[in-house]
C-alpha cells in the first residue's frame, strides 16, 4: 500500500516528504496560477513518484475545461510524472500517456453509493484503460461495509476511497481490505475529510503493527 500526499500547491511537497509520503499527487486543477519558481523547483528536487491529476468539478475538483484544456494543463508537468489520473471522460488520452511510459489510474468519483452490481460495472469499465480508482459517498455504515467487501473481493490492483467527512475513518481502513493507495494531504486538504500525511501514517501504523 502506498501513502499518497495530495498537494494543492507544489510548495507543500517538502512537507509531504518529511511526513513520510510514498508518492505525491499534484492536483493541477487546484494549483495557483502561475506556479512560482519555488514551486517548480520543489517538483524538480523531489525524488518521490508523482501522480498528475486534473479533477473535474463534477467529480469533486475544480476543473471545468475541455479535453484540450485538460491535456494542456497536464503537458508542462509530464516530464516529472510517473502516473496519470484519468477520469472516464478523458480515457481516449490514456494510450498517448501509456506510450510515454506512464502508468494510468482510471478514476471515477461519485457523490452517491453505487449498488454491488454498479460497483462491478464501474470497476470493469475503468480497468479497460488503467488501475481502477473508485471513490463513492457512503450514506450509512452498511454502505461502508459494502465498499470494504467490494474492495476485498475485487481483482488487484484496486484503489477505493470515499467522498465527504461523515465516514472519514473508511479512508484509513480501506487499505486493510486491499486498496493499494491511501490519499492524504500535505499543506491543506484537497478533498473534504482527508487526513494529513502524518495522521494517516500514525493511524496505519497503529492498526497494522
Cβ–Cβ under 8 Å, residues 175 and 167? no
DSSP state of 110: -
Cα three-residue angle 163-132-188, rounded to 5 degrees: 40
C-alpha cell at 30: 487546484
Kindly name the residue from 44, 108, 133, 153 that is annotated as catalytic: 133
> Residues 47, 109, 116, 153: which is the catalytic one?
109
Give the list of residues 6+ apart from residue 124 with CB closer than 8 angstroms, or none.
none
133 catalytic, yes or no? yes
* The three cell numbers locating residue 192: 473534504
Strand ranges, E, within 61-122? 83-87, 103-109
Q: Which residues are catalytic?
A: 109, 133
Amino acid at each position: 500500500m502506498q501513502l499518497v500526499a495530495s498537494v494543492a500547491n507544489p510548495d507543500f511537497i517538502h512537507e509531504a516528504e518529511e511526513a513520510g509520503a510514498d508518492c505525491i499527487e499534484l492536483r493541477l486543477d487546484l494549483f495557483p496560477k502561475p506556479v512560482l519558481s519555488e514551486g517548480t523547483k520543489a517538483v524538480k528536487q523531489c525524488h518521490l513518484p508523482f501522480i498528475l491529476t486534473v479533477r473535474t468539478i463534477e467529480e469533486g475538483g475544480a476543473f471545468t475545461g475541455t479535453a484540450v484544456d485538460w491535456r494542456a494543463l497536464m503537458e508542462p508537468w509530464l516530464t516529472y510524472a510517473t502516473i496519470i489520473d484519468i477520469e472516464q471522460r478523458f480515457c481516449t488520452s490514456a494510450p498517448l500517456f501509456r506510450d510515454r511510459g506512464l502508468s494510468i489510474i482510471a478514476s471515477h468519483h461519485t457523490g452517491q453509493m453505487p449498488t454491488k452490481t454498479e460497483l462491478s460495472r464501474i470497476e470493469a469499465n475503468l480497468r479497460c484503460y488503467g488501475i481502477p480508482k473508485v471513490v463513492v459517498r457512503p450514506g450509512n455504515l452498511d454502505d461502508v461495509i459494502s465498499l470494504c467487501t467490494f474492495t476485498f473481493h475485487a481483482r488487484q490492483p484496486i484503489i477505493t476511497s470515499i467522498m465527504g467527512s461523515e465516514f472519514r475513518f473508511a479512508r484509513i481502513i480501506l487499505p486493510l481490505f486491499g486498496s493499494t493507495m491511501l490519499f492524504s494531504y500535505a499543506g491543506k486538504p484537497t478533498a473534504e475529510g482527508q487526513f494529513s500525511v502524518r495522521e494517516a501514517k500514525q493511524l496505519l501504523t497503529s492498526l497494522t503493527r
